[in-house]
Structure 1
C-alpha cells in the first residue's frame, strides 16, 4: 500500500493543542510560531491517484525551475524551493536596497513506487511530480503433492 504522508514541523503540530482557538492557546501559539492551521509560507500541494500512478501538484508561483529541487531518498520524497532576491535602486538623493529570502520545503513518505520512472515538470507556477506505482509481483502458486 502506498503511504503518501506529509510530515514536517508545522504538520506535526496539528492536533497538538487541546483547543487551539481558545484565546489563551491562540495567542501562545502565535508568539511561538506554532499555528495549528495552514500557514501561508508552507508549500501547498494537491495529491491525486489513479490506477497507474500518484500525482503531486505543488504551487510554486514566482519561482524559477532552477530554484526548485526534488529529492527521492529511499521512501522520502522532498520538494524544496529557495528564492534569494536583491533589489537596488539609486536616485539623485536616495539609495534603496532591499533583500528578500524565502524557502519552502515539504516531504512525503512514498512507498511501492517505481523510483526509476518518477518524472516532474514545472509549468505556470505549478510543479507536477508523477510517481508511477510498482507493478504487483505475480504470486506463483505452490503445487502441493498429495501422499
Structure 2
C-alpha cells in the first residue's frame, strides 16, 4: 500500500506541510550527513529463519573483531561496537594526527531461543549470529470473562 502524505495548497500548488515548516527536512538532511553515517547510525542487519534456527547477519565493515561485544540479557540480544582510531604520521615539514571515536549498538528481542547454544562468526565485515530455536513453551489459551 502507498503512504499517505499530508498536503496543503499554497500559491495554487500542492505543498507538503512539513516542507512549509522545514523542520523535518532540516533533521533529515542533518542526520543523513556522511559524518553521522560512519559512526552515528546503527548497522544494518538481516534476519532469516530456518526450521531449526534464526540467523542474524549484521553488516560491520571495517570493524575489528575485538571491538564487537555480543551479550544476552533479560531476553534481549545486544550487539555493540566501540571503535577508537588514532593516526599519527610525521614527515619532513608536517605532522598529521587524527583521532576518531564511535560506538553503536543494536538489540533484538529473543523468544524461544536456546541461549546457551548461540554462536557468532565474523568474516569479511559480516557478523553472523546463529540462534537455535527452543521448543515453544506450552502456553494455553484461556478465555477471560468480562464482569459487569
TM-score (norm 2): 0.69
Distance 1:137 1:96, change over 3 A: closer
Match among 26, 39, 45 for residue 24 of structure 2: 26
Aligned partners of 1:21 and 1:67: how far apart in 2? 43
- Mapped contact 2:114–2:134 kept (Cα < 8 A): yes
Measured against aligned partners, the alpha-carbon deviations of 1:89-126 in whole angstroms (never above 9, x if no partner) come to 11221111000112221011111111111111101110
Matching residue of 1:131:
131
Distance 1:63 1:91, change over 3 A: same
Task: Name structure 2 gaps, 5 residues minimum.
Answer: 1-5, 8-15, 140-148
Matching residue of 1:119:
119
Matching residue of 1:71:
71
Comparing 69-78 with 40-49, greater Cα deviation is found at 40-49
Aligned residues: 119
RMSD: 2.8
Bigger relative contact order, structure 1 or 2 (CA pairs below 8 A, ≥6 apart): 1
More strand by share: 2
Distance 1:93 1:30, change over 3 A: same
Aligned partners of 1:108 and 1:137: how far apart in 2? 20
Matching residue of 2:53:
53
1:44 shift after superposition: 0.5
Task: Name structure 1 gaps, 5 residues minimum.
Answer: 1-17, 140-147
Q: Which has the larger radius of gyration?
A: 2
Matching residue of 2:144:
none
User: Which structure 2 residues correspond to residues 83-98 of structure 1 after superposition, within 5 A?
Assistant: 83-98=83-98
Aligned partners of 1:28 and 1:138: how far apart in 2? 50
1:42 shift after superposition: 1.7
- Mapped contact 2:112–2:136 kept (Cα < 8 A): no
Aligned partners of 2:104 and 2:81: how far apart in 1? 5
